[in-house]
Amino acid sequence: MRANRRLKPNHNMRARKTLKPRWAMRASSILNPNYAMRASRTLEPMKQMRAISNMKPRVLMRNHQPKRRSKMQFKIEELKKQYDGKSIVECVTEAKTLNEGMIKQGEELVGLLWYLEKTKRFHDYEGYAKIAFKVFVFEICHIPYNRYRQLAYAYNWYPVESREYGPQTIQAIRSSVGVVKIPKVLGEIKKKVSNITAPDKRREAIAEVIKKYTPPKKVVPATDTKSYWKRKYEELFDKYKLLEKENGEMREQLSRQRVPLENLQKVRDIVQVAVQ
């Protein structure tokens, strides 16, 4: 086995086959990942599992990647037959019609999920009696809970604007400007976009209005770590010196008060003896 380390990988694999299974398994751990995988296949199932478990996760992922699916749902030949005879205007019009249907269905879906969340009826569904709503939304509709909350806010408070500009615009205004100024920003967007028909100009106008009302970010000055901790150390050292001084003064007071207390104890002893 020691001699195998000095061999090339291919010769090492051939030499390994002449060893006992236990030594073969140890020898396979010395090989390169690809050769180790090939070498492990000659072992018994249990020993093969042990040999593979010693490899790095990256090697296992590289050697056990699932095969890429060759069948695709959308076939370009069939799509060409369907849409090549139509003009680009007809294609865009059809896309807008389909998109409007999807937006309407999405709004209805959010309303239904809102109803299930508020009434807690989703717990009645089999297997979700003790499951949180965010898990229910993700597993049933494949929608992340944060995304659902954003859509619910947009469709609840600004349904008309959400249909016109999209719920993502409402969310962009909410995250950049804040909840209080959303009506003001939407009003200015409506005035500025009313006479614009080009999509790129329209998009730029909306972004410009949002940027106008976005408050500037606070610039945090860079701090010198060494000087910062040096200053902290000096502050703590000064506090330590002050406490040490107060402690010394209190010790002196106690030492001065100890002598009168001792004299009082002696007087008390004399009085007790005289009384007796």
Q: How confident is the model at residue 240 (pLDDT cuts 50, 70, 90)?
A: very high
Q: By the 8 A CB rule, do 24 and 39 touch?
A: yes
pTM (predicted TM-score): 0.53
Structure tokens at 1: 């086995």
* Residue 121 CB contacts under 8 Å (≥ 6 apart), including other chains: 115
Structure tokens at 60: 């296992």
d(CA 207, CA 192): 11
Residue with tokens 């398994």: 25
Q: How confident is the model at residue 4 (pLDDT cuts 50, 70, 90)?
A: very low
Give pLDDT tens digits for 68-83. Answer: 555 777 788 888 888 8
Q: Exposed/middle/buried for 202, CB within 10 Å: 0-12, 13-18, 19+?
A: middle
Give pLDDT tens digits for 20-78. Answer: 555 555 554 454 555 555 555 555 555 555 555 555 554 444 555 555 555 777 788 88
Most distant pair of Cα atoms in the chain: their distance: 131
Q: What radius of gyration, in Å, describes the C-alpha atoms of the chain?
A: 39
